[in-house]
Amino acid sequence: MTRETNLEGVNLVVAGVTGAVGQEFLRVLEERNFPIRRLALLASPRSAGKIIPFRGKEYTVETLENFDPSGYDIALFSAGGGVSKAQAPRFADAGVVVVDNSSAFRMEPDVPLVIPEVNPESVNKRKRNIIANPNCSTIIALVPLWPLHRHFGLKRVVIATYQAVSGAGARALEELRRQTERVLRGEDARPEVFPHPIAFNLFSHNSEIDDEGFNLEERKMIRETHKIFEDETIGVCATCIRVPTFRSHAEAINTEFAEPVDLEEVRFLLGKAPGVRIVDDRASNHFPMPLEASDQDDILVGRIRRDPSAPRPENALAFFVAGDQLRKGAATNAVQIAELILQERSR
């Protein structure tokens, strides 16, 4: 179903607006001056009735399950996989293009999995009105990997993540604050949101482990890389770790390419790549950090060096990245997709 959209402003839904990503949606929409004619803010029944200010107006949060999507153009969903599976098709059937931040539809063949800096053309290939936002760790890795892959041909990548607690939501953020205070007072950490203490600790990502020993986050990175790069021959191995930082994920990335890698060429490619900023000051030992990546949309890239341990060192590269998983890893990426939809409709 298609419709004419007033490009001076679209009718927009934000679902899951009271969550960490939902609140970030509003910030990004404001910062990017996204054109909105009519706005609906949706959440679970326990949040219904809350008042949220946006662009000088106050909006009352409505219940997602009871909302009539008729007449709306785009919906930004960050309400969890189960809710997305139940509600996104209903919105899509009503003619609303759903940009979903959960994992519910990412691997479905008729749903594009989109990073605008990598595969923006995929937005136009959707067979139904659902577009998936990739996993935050996948986005943070693939934005800088894409220009290198196009130039040198990625053959294999090994990634170790250092994932901030805000990736698990607002309650996880509060748990880190509370546990840190308790431990500094000499008291027990008392984990509730996470399975283990997070203050002054780190542990394997708190998701289900499969029979081969990979957790769900690691499987997402493997499968999503293959789908986004449209190449299942690329070797991908990920180790995903939760660390006691509030915001922004970091990743150590080790790569092997089909072609020899020139470090100056790598810097040139990354330096002109959209969504990437090089932070690689060896003299002052200044490299990507979560603190400096927070509240930024660029992926910070540094520690750029060869890997002398590789079978073909001239084809191998190691580097380190940091990116705000609430922004580019979620909200900003989704709003960029919405902007692509607007461009598509203006043609």
**Catalytic center residues:** 136, 249
Burial of 63 per CB tally in 10 Å (0-12, 13-18, 19+) = middle
Cα–Cα distance, 146 to 119 (Å, whole number): 10
- How many angstroms separate the CA atoms of 163 and 30, rounded? 27
* Residue linked to tokens 């090089």: 278
For residues 133 and 99, the answer to whether their CB atoms sit within 8 Å is: yes
- HSE, side-chain direction, 13 A CA sphere, residue 181: 5
Which of 104, 126, 139 is CA-nearest to residue 341? 126
Residue 319 is inside which H or E element, if any? strand 316-323
Q: In terms of DSSP bridges, do strands 57-60 and 51-54 run parallel, antiparallel, or are they unpaired?
A: antiparallel
Q: How far apart are CA 39 and CA 34, in angstroms?
A: 11
Angstrom distances, CA of residue 250 to CA of 83, 222, 246: 29, 17, 12
Nearest to 184, CA basis, from 194, 193, 197: 197
* H/E stretch holding 22: helix 20-31
